[in-house]
Structure 1
Amino acid sequence: MKFKLIFFTFFILYSSVSAQEGTLPVIVKTVVDTLHQSKENMLPADSILKGNYNTENSVYQKSFAPDFQKKYNSKDFDYQVLKPHESLWERIKRNITRILRKIFGDLDPLTANRYTFNVLRILGVVALAFILYYLIKYLNSKNGNFFFGKKNKKLAPTSSEIHENIHEINFPELIQKYESTKDFRSAIRYRFLYVLKILSDKNKIIWMPEKTNQDYISELKDENSKMQFLDLAYIFDYVWYGEFSLSQSDYDYYKEKFQNTRF
């Protein structure tokens, strides 16, 4: 019994010692920072300069051209930020947008641009209408001769003829004079001026030297008078301002037109 107890105790002690001898050692890894450099073995730069440091490298003094600053005055070296030039069209759009914002309050950019475009389109149509109106009025002042005929400079009335007072002219006498000399153009002209005098005496038009035939047509109230006057005005323009010679038969035809007209 004692022998078994001693053997059991010896077995336990032997197992404990064997377990301690078989345990693996713990390996501890040491991480070294390769970027870290100790300053213990390094000398400051000031100490190197104070120790009469010498180098074999050649040192050259840098020199600049006397006018080296001129090249920096060009636009390539101008870094100043300038406000872009605003055109007339852009100023107009900006002012219209500002007015719309005052009327309708704050608007988002898309709505403001749409309103501005519509306003500009309306203004463009109105401006075009005015231009066409004055262009047509100018062409009518030429008695339709701008497109349909060439003015005969030799037969163009002088300033004295244009401004002569129709109420002081003896038309029958002048017309007979030009008919006798075969000056049919002048005869047609005074027949037409005689028509203006008749209309003025009947208060159907207000005669003025600077007025055009289109002005007189607009003053006539009834359509019959307008059509008759328009027919006679066409004959006058064709004969007086055109480059067409009149024969006796041509003149007799136009003369009958004037004589058969009743206002």
Structure 2
Amino acid sequence: MNKILLLLLFFFCSSVGAQDSLAVAKKEKIIFIEKDIAIDTSAIDAKSFPKNFKKKYTDTPFIYEFKTPEKNAWDRFKEWLANLFKNLFSFSDNKTSMHFVEILLKTIAILIVIAVIYMIVKAIMNKEGQWIFGKNSDKKIINYDEIEKNIHLVDFEKLIHNSLQSGEKRLTIRYYYLWLLKKMSSKQIIVWDVEKTNTDYLYEIKNQTQKDDFAYLSYLYNYIWYGEFELDDATFAKAKNAFEKSIKTINNG
């Protein structure tokens, strides 16, 4: 019991003392002088922004006002079509008609691509793709390879007539050359072989006149068939007459 009384007395005295100290502090004024103030004298780095700093902040996250892009000629054309189809088919709104126009344009583009592919394939299958495979003479060699292998079974007069009708001068001279080889083979002037060259046949010819004639006709054939130039009428007529004359001479020999 005595201990409890002592504790209460202690807390009471402490509380009274604290209140007295606070009252005294309020009455007193605290005065600071210049030497009591600490001054920071450290150097300060000045911060500045580059003149073109705005260019670094042009990405999408830094754009807060979006402008509607200007319409180009293609966009205006699609809008015109959309308005046209909207009036024709009574679409409910512009969005529906624009969707229809986009589908229509994509379909037309696909059809155009298919048509182009079809024409290219058709040209290749018909062996008319000269611009793909090379010069005209190469194309003709590919087309008429079987004729060259079987010259004894071919009616060259008919082929020459058809090629003249279609205006294929180079092909006509090729037919004349193969017809000449056929005639020379049938008269046993040469031994026909599809693998032989003009020079091989030239060595087989015994008659000097026929040899000279064949050398000249071989020159004309190589010049016209393999030459990359426009064959004029005068050169064609000269070669045609020379081949016909030589073939007629062999027939009558």
**TM-score under structure 1 length normalisation:** 0.40
**TM-score under structure 2 length normalisation:** 0.42
Between 1 and 2, higher relative CO (CA 8 Å, sep ≥ 6) is seen in 1
Q: Look at both structures and tell me which one has the larger radius of gyration over its CA atoms.
A: 1
